[in-house]
Amino acid sequence: MRPVIFKRTRLIVVLAVLFFLYIIFYKWHTSVNLRGISDRDGNESLSQREKTEIMDSEDKLTENEGIKNRYEKLVNSFDTENDIKENDSESKESEQETNKDQDENEQEDENEAYSKESEEPKELTPSKNTPETEQENQVNIEKEQVIVVLVIACNRPEYVKKCIDTLLEKRPADLKAQFPIVVSQDCGHEETEKVIASYGNKLKLIKQPDLSAIHGVAAHMVGYYKLSRHYKWALGQIFDVMGFDAAVIVEDDLEIAPDFYDYFAATRPLLDQDPTIWCVSAWNDNGKEECVKDNGLLFRSDFFPGLGWMLKRSLWNELRPKWPNAFWDDWMRNPEQRQDRCCIRPEICRTKTFGENGVSQGQFYLQHLQYIKLNDKFFHFRNKDLSYLLKDSYDSDFHNHAYMIPSASFSEIKSGKVSTTVVRVQYEDNSSFESLAKQFGIMSDLKSGVPRMAYRGIVVFIYKGIRVFLAPPDQWTGYE
């Protein structure tokens, strides 16, 4: 009996121990699970915070990057005037390269339009205008302000090619429609005609029909008579036949500066605003490199410079009836034609001649013209106020400045005894002007009593870094 009871008791104890162990294991397991769940939830919560922080950080980086990009764009959008002067030549070259790649269909249509207009002469406005058509035509004229570039050519194929290439290459895209190119050829030279025709619709070719011989003049003078005859016919085609309102005349031995077109576009309104301005020229006879400094400076000049010059149709209407048989440029300088009017001219030339061979047989070329400086840094004339060139404000300012600055002699300037950067050197008459001009190394001749580039008798140039006003006495009353 006792063994049985003992066995039962031992079984109960074992079962109790197992149950107790089970209870302990169950509690431990539950605790572990709860702890794991808590840890897992904590880890997930921490991960979410980290993600939020990372996202916030990324947002801040994105925002900062955006601010940086906007700042860089803002900085890049600002160009100082000095930056423009230094870098604009390169930017213009880039723009011109882009122009070469543009679609030529628009240019073909444009040239075809004014080509037909020249072949079939017509008025700029209908013969019977209504108020509506008058307003439409006025809007078109004001909008376009077309200035034809008229190239005068004859028998120099290599010259005309160089001239046309530079005219096309340096014409900005935004001025393309405003400055169509017409080449007028004299002489009937076949090779030259082929070169001009090879440009197709990029320009218009017109040919002087009168190739008759010139009689009764010395052989070395014939060229001057033919040139004047050609000018008269070509200007008649531009103004009378094609009906354009303004033109820039360029002979085939000229190359142009990068801002040639900008210069003429900016100065064109001056011809309307001031009746005392009868032309705008790209040329300065005293434009040798050592004689010039400021590429944005313009002057009024009583002397007709030529060599790339702009006139209006109204002036042509005045000159056409009395156009000379020869030496048209010297004729333009006569008081009867000039009538106390002036031309606008730059300090640094916007054209340069490479024409050693021509009608004038290279007169002055080897001694002077080959040393003329062609402007090589683009100046934004269209962004400048040029009203200072109008007579009402210019005359008094120019005169007062010239006679208020210190005076000096040539010898004082040459020996370095002058401490100022601007001086006046006085001449007494034409003879003393010629003498002083030769000493300073500027052009010393006069045409119709007017020194080259003079205004009110005063010629301005640079000598040894000093701006010199070579001026007559303050009581000057006019040219001799």
Q: Check if the beta carbon of residue 389 is closer than 8 Å to that of residue 300.
A: yes
Whether 227 and 328 have beta carbons less than 8 Å apart is answered as yes
In one letter, which amino acid is 214?
Answer: I
Query: Which helix (H) or strand (E) covers residue 165, if one does?
Result: helix 157-169
State how far the alpha carbon of 204 is from the alpha carbons of 110, 119, 198, 332, 349, in Å: 11, 11, 11, 27, 27
User: How far is Cα 17 from Cα 23, in angstroms, rounded to an integer?
Assistant: 10
What DSSP line would sit under 82-124, residue for residue? HHHHHHHHHHHHHHHHHHHTS-SHHHHHHHHHHHHHHHS---S
> Residues near 84 by Cβ (< 8 Å), separated by ≥ 6?
378, 380
Please give the Cα distance from 460 to 469 (Å, whole number): 5
101 flagged as catalytic: no
Asked if residue 144 lies in contact with residue 180, where contact means CB atoms within 8 angstroms, the answer is: no
Radius of gyration of the chain (CA): 41
* Cα(92)–Cα(87) distance, integer angstroms: 9
Contact 222, 320 (CB under 8 A): no
Q: Which token pair is 80?
A: 């100082």
- The single residue of 240, 329, 330, 395 carrying the catalytic annotation is 329
In angstroms, the CA 6 to CA 9 distance is 5
Q: How many CB atoms lie within 10 A of CB 88?
A: 18
- Give residue 468's identity as a one-letter amino acid code: V
Query: CA distances (Å), 146 to each of 47, 79, 125, 306, in order?
Result: 72, 30, 15, 20
Closest alpha carbon to 230 in 215, 249, 217, 216 = 249
Q: Are 334 and 448 in contact (CB under 8 A)?
A: yes
The single-letter DSSP state of residue 347 is: S
Helices (H), 249-308: 260-273
Cβ distance 346 to 260 under 8 Å?
no
Q: What angle do CA 146, 138, 132 make, to 5 degrees?
A: 145
Segment (H or E) for 242: none
The residue with tokens 């003049």 is 217
Place of tokens 């947002």: 59
Which residues carry out catalysis? Answer: 329
